Structure 1
Amino acid sequence: MNTQFNLKASILLAALFCVPVAQAAMTSNDEYKANKTRIAADYKSEKAACGAMNGNAKDICVEEAKGREKVALAEGEYAHTGSAADSKKVIIAKAESNYAIAKEKCDDRSGNDKDVCVKEAKAVEAKILADVKLSKKIDSAVKDDVQTKRDADYKVRVEKCDSQSGDAKASCVANAKASVGKD
């Protein structure tokens, strides 16, 4: 049972991180609005279809519909903006939705079996959210390091310009600024 759940969790993790980093073409505002309208309509019809069910099967169905809506909205936002932050929001939406569905499925169990099921589902979500948080920290650290390197290169280039004077020095400083992207 645990091996099967761990395999499913590994597959889920792999699938979640296959979200493309860059979007080839972003959707227009009209496409974005139409997509949101379509997602809302799909959610309504999926939720209505759950009405014919009873008990926990109905709860699972509703949670799956909510999850699809949440993920579709996040993917639509990402398709519209193409930003890395929205890419991470897609991963978070998938993790949270999968947790909610898994937790609902655990309601079919009882006792310790149910407790273990819920904890395993929460562990998968926690790992994914921790990975997203870590990637944000890594992104921030990389940006800081790149800026530190640029600043150091600029200082060295400007120092080399100090041996010159007049227009040559001004040109050297301008070239130093241009080489590191300073205005």
Structure 2
Amino acid sequence: MRSPHLLLLLGAAILWASHCRAQAVPDARTAYQQAKESAATNYKNAVAKCGGIAGNPHDVCVAEAKAARVQAEEEAGAAYENTLAAYTRARMRIASANYDRDKVRCKGLTGNPKDVCMVQAKAALVSAQADAKADKKTIEARNEATEDKQKAALKVALEKCDAYAGAAKEQCVAQAKATYVQP
């Protein structure tokens, strides 16, 4: 008598979860669009504030506004796609935008300080890109290790099911697959 109630509750939970997931997609799309619009508005406002400035400080102000816009848009896009590749791509583009901003800052300098500034900007770019690539590889390796562990645990569970026969064995196998096989 307890089992049918449990199955009904489980079915209701699955139905609710699938309904919530279906609603999450439009909400994510809306959040993404709002973030892009907000980034564009913030960019326009920041560039408008730069209007009263002349020379290199004006260029730096505009470059900072561009870098902030790229960061906001890339973070929103990565959150919308929600994939490792999207997050890595976003980090690479943000690093590139920050490098462009730093190059503009360096143009205001002369001589050795300018050279040092450019080398520091390039080093920051290389460092950020290397971190993004390393993090991607680390996450991929962890995901692969998790999959390997799941496969090994499934084999153990299936081996334990061999002790049963008939319907009990089928139920054991189904339970093992449900527990260890990810969709």
TM-score, normalised relative to structure 1: 0.69
User: Partners of 2:157 and 2:120 in 1: how far apart?
Assistant: 55
Q: Residues 141 and 36 of structure 1: is their aligned pair in 2 closer, same or farther, counting only changes over 3 Å?
A: same
Determine helix, strand or coil for the equivalent of 1:164.
coil
TM-fit CA distance, 1:84: 5.9
Whole-Å Cα distance in 2 between the matches of residues 151 and 31 of structure 1? Answer: 37
Letter in 2 for 1:65: A
* CA displacement, residues 30-81 of structure 1 (integer Å, 9 cap, x when unaligned): 4543443333233223223333332222211111111121122234445656
1:146 Cα offset (Å): 0.8
Match of 1:158 in 2: 158
RMSD: 3.0
Rg larger in 1 or in 2?
Answer: 2
Which deviates more, 26-35 or 153-162?
A: 26-35
Deviation per CA, 1:109-164, whole angstroms, max 9, x where unpaired? 23333222111111112112211111111111111111111111111222233343
Post-superposition Cα deviations, 1:73-116, rounded to whole Å, max 9, x if no partner, equal 23444565666665556644543333222211111223333222
Mapping of residues 1-183 of structure 1, within 5 Å: 29-77=29-77, 88=88, 91-181=91-181
Q: Which has the higher contact order (CA 8 A, sep 6+)?
A: 1
The alignment covers a number of residue pairs equal to 159
User: Structure 1: any 5+ residue segments left out of the alignment?
Assistant: 1-24
Give the letter for the 2:176 counterpart.
Answer: A
CA distance change for structure 1 residues 51 and 146 in 2, over 3 Å: closer, same or farther?
A: same
Separation in 2 of the partners of 1:182 and 1:68? 38
CA distance in 2, matches of 1:90, 1:153: 35
Q: TM-score, normalised by structure 2?
A: 0.69
CA distance in 1 between partners of 2:75 and 2:59 (Å) = 24
Distance 1:75 1:156, change over 3 A: closer
SS of the equivalent of 1:52 reads: coil
Structure 1 stretch 65-74 or stretch 163-172: which is displaced more?
A: 163-172
| Sequence identity percentage | 36
Higher helix share: 2
